[in-house]
Amino acid sequence: MSDYSATLDTLKGLVPEELLNPRVGIICGSGLSGLPASLKQSVLVSYDQLPGFVQSTVPGHKSSLAFGLMGSGAGVPVVAMLGRFHPYEGHKLSSVVYPVRVMAKLGVKDIIITNAAGALNPELVVGTIVVVHDHIALPNLTGMNPLLGPQTDLSLPRFLPLSNTYSRLLRKLVFQAAHDLSIERDALAEGTYAWVSGPTYETPAEGRFLRAAGADVVGMSTVPEVLAAREEGMNVLVLSLVTNAVVIPSGYKSVRDEFEAEIAGTLTNPGVDDVVSHEEVLSLGRLKGDLMKSLVEKVLEFIPSDA
């Protein structure tokens, strides 16, 4: 059984009391660790100081929690993970969601989870921020669910409904925030996130499979955190930054056709296999980090204190 009290006691020794009851939790996705850059009264606690925390090992993820006040005016008390944990790093699912459970014990009511994701929906342009309204989690459907195991906390539900996972109120606030900030309409979309384990990116056929199943974007994180947050009773908002396209709209190009065109001397447009890289993912995070930051800050202004 996890010893949250050791983590909480350590935090009490490192973070001033007035910052220790954050209302909102934030998880920064790949390349998005600058989200809380303008925190007021910011206090950083590195994960290696915290019992129960593992380390983020992925480039673009820092291993620290940031406490502080975010947004305009007095600001909203938040705690932000500047780097997250992924199962593909070798972390157990219970470790991946441990910080979310700590956030719940600190009193977090609303959690804003961000990630970098590949577009499956060909209408989604790279750079779009997708407000996630649903998910498909093949790992969950095949027995890799962070809520599996003996029920150690009887106050939490054993059978968690997922039909209302993504808070309608918080999703609407994103569009209100975008409207207030005069962000162009096409910069935002709504969609379904498919969780895969990674660390491999999808083959084109896997991309088509996930698209056919109804997913708009795909990524290697988020869903475990969402499940733990919902189990803990938090309101959940997920924002996915589209960093690359997974399904190439033109689909598969036959190499036989290409060969035959080549020998007939009619080949004009030889096929190329697009590949995605983590560097590309991070560079999009840098490009769109400020937009994501202003959006999140504006949403914070609107979240009712009793939501």
Ligand X SMILES: O=P(O)(O)O[C@@H]1C[C@H](O)[C@@H](CO)O1
Task: Tell me: is residue 18 an annotated ligand-binding position.
Answer: no
Q: Is 237 in the site for ligand X (CB under 6 A)?
A: no
Can you say how many angstroms the Cα of residue 234 is from the centroid of all Cα atoms in its chain? 15
Which residues have CB under 8 Å from 118's CB, separation 6+?
Answer: 201, 202, 207, 217, 218, 219, 242, 243, 244, 245, 246, 276
- Binding test (CB under 6 A) with ligand HPA, winner from 32, 102, 103, 116: 116
Q: Using an 8 Å Cβ cutoff, are 31 and 281 in contact?
A: yes
Q: Which of the ranges 35-43, 65-73, 218-226, 227-235 carries the binding residues for ligand X, by CB under 6 A?
A: 218-226
Phi, psi of 274 (to 5 degrees): -70, 140
- Binding test (CB under 6 A) with ligand X, winner from 62, 278, 287, 291: 278
Selecting among 38, 88, 94, 190, the annotated active-site residue is 88
Q: Which two tokens stand for residue 258?
A: 């290409």
The dihedral region occupied by 189, where left means phi > 0, alpha psi between -120 and 50, and beta the remainder, is beta
- Binding test (CB under 6 A) with ligand HPA, winner from 281, 282, 292, 300: 281
Q: Is 30 a catalytic residue?
A: yes
Sign of the torsion formed by the C-alpha atoms of 132, 300, 103 and 45: positive
- Binding test (CB under 6 A) with ligand HPA, winner from 189, 246, 296, 303: 246
Q: Which of the ranges 17-25, 100-108, 146-154, 238-246 carries the binding residues for ligand HPA, by CB under 6 A?
A: 238-246
Task: Point out the residues that are catalytic.
Answer: 30, 61, 86, 88-89, 116, 220-221, 244, 278
| Residues that constitute the known binding site | 30, 61, 84-86, 116, 202, 221, 244
Give the binding site for ligand HPA (CB under 6 A): 116-118, 201-202, 218-220, 243-244, 246, 276, 281
Give the binding site for ligand X (CB under 6 A): 29-30, 58, 84, 86, 115-116, 198, 219-221, 278, 281
